Structure formats: C-alpha cells, structure tokens
Amino acid sequence: MVLLPHTYQSAEYAPRLAVRLGAAYVASVSSATLDAGGVLSFSRAILQARLRAEVRPKRRLVVATVQIGAFGGHDPVELPERVFEVGRPADVERHREREILGREAAGAGGVDLPGAERIVTAGRGVGGPDEVSVAADLASALDAELGASRPVVDNGWLPREHQVGSSGHIVAPNLYVALGVSGSIQHLMGMSGSRVIVAVNRDPEAPIFSVAHYGIVADLHDVAPALTRLLLARRPG
Amino acid sequence: MRIGVCIKQVPDTDSHLRIADSGREIDDSDLNWVISSCDLCALEEGLLLAEAQVSRGEERPELVVFSLGPPRVEEALRKALALGADRAVHLAGEALQGGDALADGCALAAALAKVHCDLVLTGAQSDDLGQAATPAVIAEILGVPYAWLVMAVELDSRKQSVRVVRELEGGMNEVLRLDLPAVLAIQAGINKPRFASLRGTLQSRRKPLHREDCSGVDAGLVGAAGAGTETESVSLPPAGAGGVVIEGVSAEAAAEELLAHLEREAAL
C-alpha cells in the first residue's frame, strides 16, 4: 500500500502512480479498516459529503490519498531509520514537457482571515451579491472578519481573498459563524479547527452541521439580522 | 486543431438522496441528472478557447464532447451540443458499465486517442464521487502532460504548448507550461458557464452523436472487470459532533438562545 496526503500537489500525480504500478486507487480517505479476514476497506465522503462510501480495493497493490486532518496526531513513533537513495532519471532535464514557470498569490490581500479572532462566513445560501450584506452586517456587529465559501467567490459575490477552505485560507478562530454554508470537504478542512462553530442553514442535512457546536436550522435571512440587532442593542452607548 | 471535453452526468446535488435497498449505491429511481459542475466549466473553457482562435482570425478548433455511461448520458451530451460543442461521443455498452476511475479513464483514453485531440479538458473532480482521478488516468494512459485545478488557460500562437495557472493550497497559484497534447482538469470558478440558447438547442438535434463501445480495448481493462475498487456500502455520515441544535423556534428566539450559549462559551 502506498499512502500519500490528499494535497493539491500529491493528488495530481497519485492516480498516475496507481496506473503505472497497476494498483487500485482510492482518493481522500478518512479512515481505513482491516477486518478479521485481512480484507482492507477505506471510508470516504461522496456526493459532496452528503454520504459516505466504504470502498474495497480489488487489487493487491493500492495507492490511496488520505484526507488532511482525518487522523489525529499521535506522538511520533520512533522508526528504524532507513534512507533509500533514489537516482534521478537521466532524461529529466532534457524532457521538459511540463515546466513550472513560477508561483503567484491568487488574491489581492487586505483581509486578515488567519489572524481573525472571529469570522462570519457567507455561503451560497445568502443567495446573491446584493445579499452578502446580511453576513457583512453580522460580521461588523461581532467585530469579525468576513469570510466566503468557494461558490460565493466563484460567483464573484466576494473577492477571492475572503475565501475559507483548503484552496483559500485555513482558519481556526475563537468563533466561526457559517451562514448558508453547506460544508464541502474543502470548506470543512479550512475551518473545522475553530474553537466554537455556529452554523445557520435551512437544510438540516447540510454537512456543515457535522462539525458545528451550535446549529440553527432556519433561514439565515431571518436569523442573521436578528443576531445583528441583538448584538447592536447590547453595545454600550 | 481539436479539443476533447470529457463530461460526467451526476445526480443533482440538491436532489434528495436515498440509499438503495442493496446498501451499495444511491437509489437512482427519482433523481435529477445534470452535468457535473466542473465539467460544465471545462466545456465553457473549450468554447472560450475556440472563440478566441476565431477572433484571432484562425480556424475554429473542433470541439468533441465525450461521456461514459448508460443511455441517460445522451441527454448530457445533447446539452453539451446545445451549448456549442460540434459533435459528441457516447461511450456506451454493457462492457463499459460498473467501472471506477481507472476503468473509465482507460475507456475514455481509448476513445480520445481514436479522435486525436490536441487538448483534452475535464472537470477537476466530479460532484458525485469526487476522486479527481479520471483526468490523471487519461493523461497517464495517453502518455501526455497533465495539470489539475486549472484556473487559466492560454494557447501559444503556434498551438504547440499551453500556459496554465493552477491552484495550490493557501491562496497561491502555480504557472505552468505544458506541451500539447495535454490533459487539463478545470477548476470551478475559472469561468461562468453559459446557458443554452433556443437556437443552440434546435441546432443540437442535427449535430452528430456517435456511440463508441471501445471494442478495441482489452475487456479486462474497462467496466467492472477493469475497476481497481468496488463499493461495499454507502451510508449517511455519522450524526453531528454532538452539537446543540436549535430549530422550530422564531428567529428572535433562536438568536437569543445562541447568544446565551456563546456568552457561556466566552466566544463573544
């Protein structure tokens, strides 16, 4: 079995490795079990984390990528140190069919999500560019930064520097309020380390509720303004 | 020049999902089927590349769309034709069903090789299984360079290479140059897929849609026989993290209750 982290770099080449090795391939697993008969199976989220599937490799050799954060950090085990020297293929330099030209920041900056104590995130459920203000108002009442889920950024409702998730910012604030965020795996990876997580969503089956400490099953357009009003009323002066 | 676009038909993610009696798959009797969202972006990117060539005074590349699956996927292919693809290939037949990413990638690679595409576009991952494996498998079998999570595509003037921007974690992008032919897996958000016009829909009925059974490929490599994995069971994810659920009360009452909890948690 070959295990790799499910990062944006390794998950790009891992399926190619499986083909080259004649191995089975299972991506972004969150757990693995070996039954008494020695049969291995992997658990992974499907249909945008609405369901889980148990997947069994049918080949002796398996390449699997592991969802980041799926396993708790154990104390490092002292392993016998064996270093294998792997030679670089001689034709690597001559054969440049794929060349890295450089790296660049994806957004313009100006939003400090990683440093924020509190974050209010607008999800697709806010409904449109003109309705993002419902999240912005609550953020301002909470002295929080404004975050966005991927669909909100992809639709151009908020700029990319607001994006929370594995392709945006990984955050772990004291308080994280998700408004109308369904909770894709990528989003959960970016915020599940937050100390207190609040989710407001009309869909009781939304995966965001699986990580929320407080879940409100209701329309965010009713609840968020009510929260904003209460918070502003409490402010001294 | 020819651009191949691979699309997958998936259950609409807003559909109510039920687990089939077998416990191994979802009940597909009452689902809406749609083109997976990233695949629509891949098709849109193909259309934009073709239009960019035309506006430079060059010949419009041919856009061929591919999909593997049961007869219902022809609806997805017709939609792709209505959006502007020139012709469609349906990888059909019993022998191709029941595969995983390895088996389906193998069948798609064979069909793509037959048509000689200079550039192959797919979505970065499907909305159903989301393994992000099929495009990489296609690239490996075709022996061509590959980029995943592509956020920008630019053809060079001689159409021998392509410059792409791909996502990395943490808000960074990587700029790459790939020789053609190449496979690019397109990330959501690269563009806004268009809607089909009435004229497009009418024209799509006259555009060619071929069936391909991949009979030239070793039967052990495709369909259920070629799959490296099998799904043992599907289930609902474990219930929440034991969180407090507030429902069935007015918005004001829910807000009051939440703030009381947050105060106790010292989260305000």
pLDDT value at position B46?
A: 98
pLDDT tier at A109, thresholds 50, 70, 90:
low
Could you read off the pLDDT of B191-243 as tens digits, one per residue? 999 999 999 999 999 999 999 999 999 999 999 999 999 999 999 876 555 78
Mean pLDDT of B86-91: 98
CB contact under 8 A, A24 and B229: yes
Class of domain B2-226: alpha beta
Q: Is B131 on the interface with A (CB under 8 A)?
A: yes
CB contact under 8 A, B241 and A212: yes
pLDDT value at position A91?
A: 66
- The order of strands in the sheet holding A62-66 is A2-5, A62-66, A24-29
Average pLDDT, chain B: 94
pLDDT tier at B158, thresholds 50, 70, 90:
confident
CB contact under 8 A, B236 and A161: no
pLDDT value at position A27?
A: 96
Contact partners, residue B17, CB within 8 Å, separation at least 6? A47, A50, A51, B11, B26, B27, B31
Q: Which of B130, B179, B252 shows the shortest C-beta gap to A46? A: B130
**Chain A residues closer than 8 Å to B141 by CB:** 19
Top pLDDT among A91 and B266 is at: B266
- ipTM of the predicted structure? 0.91
Q: Closest residue of B to A103, CA-based?
A: B174
**Chain B residues closer than 8 Å to A49 by CB:** 237
Mean pLDDT of A51-76: 85
Question: Cβ distance B138 to B120 under 8 Å?
Answer: yes
pLDDT value at position A186?
A: 85
Most confident by average pLDDT, A17-21, A92-96, B26-30? A17-21
Q: Is B143 on the interface with A (CB under 8 A)?
A: no
pLDDT value at position A237?
A: 59
Mean pLDDT of B128-157: 96
Question: Cβ distance A19 to B135 under 8 Å?
Answer: no
pLDDT > 90: what percent of chain B?
85
Question: For chains A and B, what is the number of CB pairs under 8 angstroms?
Answer: 259
pLDDT value at position B28?
A: 84
Out of A68-82, A139-153, B63-77, B80-94, least confident range: A68-82
Domains along chain A with CATH numbers? 2-66 (3.40.50.620), 118-234 (3.40.50.1220)
- pLDDT of A84 > 90? The answer is no
CA distance A84 to chain B (A): 26
Q: Closest residue of A to B131, CA-based?
A: A27
User: What is the 3-class SS of chain A, one letter each residue?
Assistant: CEEEECCCCHHHHHHHHHHHHCCEEEEEECEEEECCCCCEEEEEEECCCCEEEEEEECCCCEEEEECCCCCCCCCCCCCCCCCCCCCCCCCCCCCCCEEEEEEEECCCCCCCCCCCCEEEEECHHHCCHHHCHHHHHHHHHCCCEEEECHHHHHCCCCCHHHEECCCCECCCCCEEEEECCCCCHHHHHHHCCCCEEEEEECCCCCHHHHCCCEEEECCHHHHHHHHHHHHHHHCCC
Domain segments of chain B: what residues? Answer: 2-226
Q: Which of A8, A15, A222 shows the shortest C-beta gap to B137? A: A15
Mean pLDDT of A27-54: 91
3-state DSSP call for residue B89? strand
pLDDT value at position B6?
A: 98
pLDDT value at position A146?
A: 96
Question: Cβ distance B128 to A46 under 8 Å?
Answer: yes
Could you read off the pLDDT of B9-40 as tens digits, one per residue? 999 977 788 899 999 988 888 889 999 999 99
Q: How many CB atoms are closer than 10 A to CB A152? A: 26
